Amino acid sequence: MKTRLFLYSFVTALGGFLFGFDTAVINGALPFFSSHFNLDEGLQGFAVGSALFGCVVGAITIGRPGDKYGRRTMLIWMAILMFISAIGSGIAENFTMFVIYRIIGGLGVGGASVLSPMYISEISPAEYRGRFTITFQLAIVLGILFAFLSDYILIDTGANNWRWMFIAEGIPAIIFLVLLFFVSKSPRWLVKNNNFEEARKVLLQVNPKGEIENLLEEIKKSINTEVVDHFKYLFQKPYLKLIVIGVFVGMFNQFTGINVVMYYSSNIFISAGFSTGSALGQSVMVGLTNLIFTIVAMLLIDKIGRKFMLLFGAVGMSIFLALFSYFYISQIEGYILLIALLGFVACFAFSQGAVIWVLLAEMYPNNIRARGSSIASFSLWTFNTLTAFLFPIVASTFQGSNGIAYAFMFYTGMTILSYFFYKKYLIETKGKTLEEIEKHWNSVN
């Protein structure tokens, strides 16, 4: 059982690796291509935000094609887009072409952020679903770490170092594309399309000891083709509440400030007194911390549950974000700032970083999973883009008044609010099949 499950999860999770690599590679490349294209703070934010704009569009538009053509088929197209972006960004001769290629990559990343965790959740048995879906987040973290490492390794390759940083992404993109042809289609998508025999075959491959016939019947009963085929039902009971919750989950995830750290940690460390080379080294430490605590979360999620991890993490993140803000505004420089930032990253990786994609992949019923997850991911990417674009502007505008500290104070307040939101509106889903989760949500609506 685990051989096929590991294979399918590993291959699909490579979409997360590219997600992490694509969004983090710009961190180390930013000082160099900004100099090459002579970018001010506003254009730097635009350069970072351009890929994220593509992610927004990719996330909101992928739901319908994912339902019509299948998760695997659309992931193949996402891999192609990311490969084109990697090469194109690296060889771009002007800033306009650079932005266009970054947007193309963003389309692929946004689509993969919806489809990859969804696919993994749809093939995984209930007792393993949490840890296997976290492989997507683990892959994101590894992608971020490899992006930081490759940026660090390529820093001394000359004036075109930033070009090689982007081109390096082409290698995992082509590997992802090839391996996807060895992955089966999602069993729940197959049932939606009345391909019951193939769905049964896939379920047996990933869970030969399970009660396949009972599960197949549950999946059949949970699907209403009228709801699947019409968008209007998303905004009616019993689905509307889940759509709204998903939008807020995406918003709170980004208002922790985690991606400001992932995109701008080098700039943050430089502003705190570190050299450029040292700042890139600190970013590698951020990536390592992210990886270690994602692995810890992977080992524990199916034991202690999603909701507990979210609440625990919200408390920890609030504390470390507040400490970072205090140290920065008090001009306490050096490694104490790094420790506070690493503490925040550790708490995020253990909680929201690990749980967010599991939650968005499993909280929606079969009828609306692709479209519901697409809307929630759209929210996440929209607020991601907003924070990425505004952060350098806020930081430079209020630099004399510690603009970076003010931004982190805002993230502290939003993370505190997220604790109360999660406590009130989320349910625990560990150990339940996707169909049982659907019944649970219906009982509380």
Mean pLDDT of 380-386: 86
Q: Is the dihedral of CA 322, 328, 331, 332 positive or negative?
A: positive
10 Å CB burial of residue 232 (0-12, 13-18, 19+) is exposed
Residue 207 lies in a domain: no
pLDDT tens for 254-276 read 999 888 887 677 667 776 666 66
Q: Are 395 and 266 in contact (CB under 8 A)?
A: no
Closest CA to 348 of 224, 249, 253, 210: 253
Residue 167 lies in a domain: yes
Query: For residue 404, what is the domain's CATH number?
Result: 1.20.1250.20
Based on its alpha-carbon atoms, the radius of gyration of the chain, rounded to whole angstroms, reads 21
Closest CA to 228 of 119, 123, 371, 112: 371
Length of the chain measured in residues: 445
Number of domains in the chain: 1
Residue 385 lies in a domain: yes
CA angle 310, 62, 249 (to 5 degrees): 20
Q: How many helices (H) and strands (E) does the chain have?
A: 21, 0
Residue 199 lies in a domain: no
Q: Identify the pLDDT of residue 87.
A: 95
Q: Identify the pLDDT of residue 240.
A: 85
| pLDDT of residue 393 exceeding 90 | no
| Exposure of 121 in the CB half-sphere (CA atoms within 13 A) | 33
The overall average pLDDT reported for the chain is 85
Q: CB count, 10 Å around CB of 145?
A: 22
Q: Are 19 and 140 in contact (CB under 8 A)?
A: yes
Q: Identify the pLDDT of residue 221.
A: 76
Closest CA to 307 of 244, 274, 355: 355
Q: Identify the pLDDT of residue 166.
A: 92
Residue 31 lies in a domain: yes
Return d(Cα 179, Cα 249) in angstroms, integer. Answer: 32
For 380, residues 6+ apart whose C-beta sits below 8 A from its C-beta are 59, 113, 249, 250, 251, 253, 254, 356
Mean pLDDT of 33-52: 82
Return d(Cα 83, Cα 200) in angstroms, integer. Answer: 34
Of 106-120, 146-160, 281-295, 364-378, the range with the highest mean pLDDT is 106-120
Return d(Cα 213, Cα 408) in angstroms, integer. Answer: 51
Mean pLDDT of 76-92: 95
Q: Identify the pLDDT of residue 321.
A: 94
Q: Are 321 and 408 in contact (CB under 8 A)?
A: yes
| pLDDT of residue 389 exceeding 80 | no
Task: State the pLDDT confidence band at 99, using cuts at 50, 70 and 90.
Answer: very high
Mean pLDDT of 75-96: 94
Q: Are 354 and 296 in contact (CB under 8 A)?
A: no
Residue 313 lies in a domain: yes
Task: State the pLDDT confidence band at 362, using cuts at 50, 70 and 90.
Answer: confident
Return d(Cα 268, Cα 279) in angstroms, integer. Answer: 8
Mean pLDDT of 32-60: 84
Higher pLDDT among residues 420 and 67, named by residue: 420
Q: Identify the pLDDT of residue 318.
A: 97
pLDDT tens for 148-175 read 888 888 888 888 888 999 999 999 999 9
Residue 133 lies in a domain: yes
Q: Are 378 and 234 in contact (CB under 8 A)?
A: no
Q: Identify the pLDDT of residue 388.
A: 75
Q: Are 143 and 20 in contact (CB under 8 A)?
A: yes
| pLDDT of residue 49 exceeding 80 | no
Q: Identify the pLDDT of residue 58.
A: 92
Mean pLDDT of 113-128: 86
Residue 205 lies in a domain: no
Q: Identify the pLDDT of residue 94.
A: 92
| pLDDT of residue 345 exceeding 90 | yes
Give residue 363's domain range.
2-183+224-444
